[in-house]
Chains A and B, each alone.
Chain A
Amino acid sequence: MQQIVNFILRNKSFLFFLLLLSISVSLTIQSHSYHRSKFINSANFFTGGLYNTSNSISSYFNLEEENQKLNKENARLNTLIGNTKKESISYIDTTTFENTFKFTPARIIKNSYSKQQNVLLINKGKKDSIKDDLAVIDNNKIIGITANYNSKYATVISILNTTSRISAQLKKTNHFGTLSWNGKSPKVVQLTDIQKNAPVKIGDTIITSGRSSIFPKGILIGSIKDFKLDITENYYEINVSLFNDMTNLEHVMVIENKDKSLIEDLLNNE
């Protein structure tokens, strides 16, 4: 017994090192095996507050560019409204149309794209009825899915995250697959599990499939850069160049699918 106590006392700093090392390694493993870290995330009062302050200063630097972007978006929506009116008498917009999707505007206060697990931070949280697993888009182009949140901030798992998986499909046909990222370029993501008989061509548009009940169907992702068959020769592996410039983001929309719990209940019952 005396010897054990002596051993611990002699090696106390080494044992302390081992203890801290096991904590940090287990946090790392957790962040790799599960797509959100429960404890270590920037959606808390302190880190969120600091990023918010710094963003409120730096956002002035690209006001002009952001204004142009918003103008373009406005123009696109105006044409959409104008054209819809002509086509049919029943007037469609998101406030009346079945009311399935709820849009919340938000601002990105921390962007990241050079790492393997890129996580963004937005300035909306539980107060603005942000939950986990909501879609985040910019100008009808995909960005990511919300993960952790507190009262004022929420983290977003970017599509540029090696653990992110999103259901996507070809725009022309309904062949669908899984969108993931290999961690190499912030402009190119990978679409796998597309059936071999699907008509895949370079330049074709890829959109979200709406199957996961997170993203509505038809959010733009990118165009096909190149493709090849995988090892089993049954599925395509497609490189998709993103429409969105993930390195330059500011104003985004968070989309909540109000029917999500209904859909999930139905699927779970089967």
Chain B
Amino acid sequence: MNNLLSIHTLRFLLLIVFQVLLFNHIDFLGYVNPYIYILFIALYPVKNNRMLFLFLSFLLGLIIDFFMDSGGINATASLIIAFIRPAVLKFSFGAVYEHNVLKFNNTNFIQKLAYFSILIVIHHFFYFLMEFFNISKIILILKNTLLSSIFTILLSILITTIFSKKTK
């Protein structure tokens, strides 16, 4: 339990540092940035205290907001995906999730891809919706969501594959 706690604390801090110092400055094509910090929310233990999980996600987003001077954009988007995560888990992993034996290290690749993609697309959509804050720019919002999502999905699959411990 202690080990698990320290892993998640470390992940929380490392993701913030890398997001702020590295991934916010990629600016591929001038504006496409990956928002990799939501890996913390995606990889949080499935069995959890819901209130604490919501609060941690909110806090994570808020800290990123402090660094990016962006009001409450990241906090809103993170909070929303933290709230809908159980539904996404159920949708992408089905029976494995319902029997409470889900471990992210040994899941099937397609299921993992689906899980990450849904969370990331929803997060990015709300992120850009909040950033533009103007429904008449919906085309621009969707374009940004699509491009940034592809980038984030690729990176998060890469990162989780590299840092996963094979449990065979």
Contacts and interface: CB of A to CB of B under 8 A. Distances in A.
Question: Quick one: which of A115, A121, A183 has the most chain B CB within 10 A?
Answer: A115
Given A21-B79, A42-B66, A186 B30 contact: yes
B102 interface: no
Interface string B10-29: 00000001001100100100
A25 to B, nearest CB: 6
A30 interface: yes
A31 B73 CA distance: 9
A25 B73 CA distance: 8
Contacts of A247: 27
Interface string B55-80: 10010011001111111110110011
B69 A41 contact: yes
Interface stretch (B38-46, B89-97, B129-137): B129-137
Interface of B: 17, 20-21, 24, 27, 30-33, 50-51, 54-55, 58, 61-62, 65-73, 75-76, 79-80, 83, 130-133
A89 B71 CA distance: 53
A116 B32 CA distance: 13
Given A17-B79, A114-B27, A186-B30, A28 B69 contact: no
A28 B71 contact: yes
Given A27-B72, A31-B70, A50-B20, 6 more contacts: A16-B54, A20-B75, A23-B72, A26-B72, A112-B24, A114-B30
The 4 closest A-B pairs by CB, nearest first: A31-B71, A27-B72, A119-B69, A24-B72
B32 to A, nearest CB: 8
A24 B62 contact: yes
Interface string A168-191: 000000000000000101100000
A139 interface: no
A30 B71 contact: yes
Contact of A24 (B21, B27, B31, B61): B61
A44 B72 CA distance: 17
A44 B131 CA distance: 22
A213 interface: no
A42 B67 contact: yes
B79 A116 contact: no
B50 A24 contact: no
B69 to A, nearest CB: 4
Given A30-B71, A115-B131, A116-B132, A25 B76 contact: yes
A40 interface: yes
Nearest to A148: B69
A117 B52 CA distance: 31
A54 interface: yes
Given A114-B30, A114-B33, A25 B72 contact: yes
Contacts of B133: 28-29, 32
A258 B102 CA distance: 65
A47 interface: yes
A40 B61 contact: no
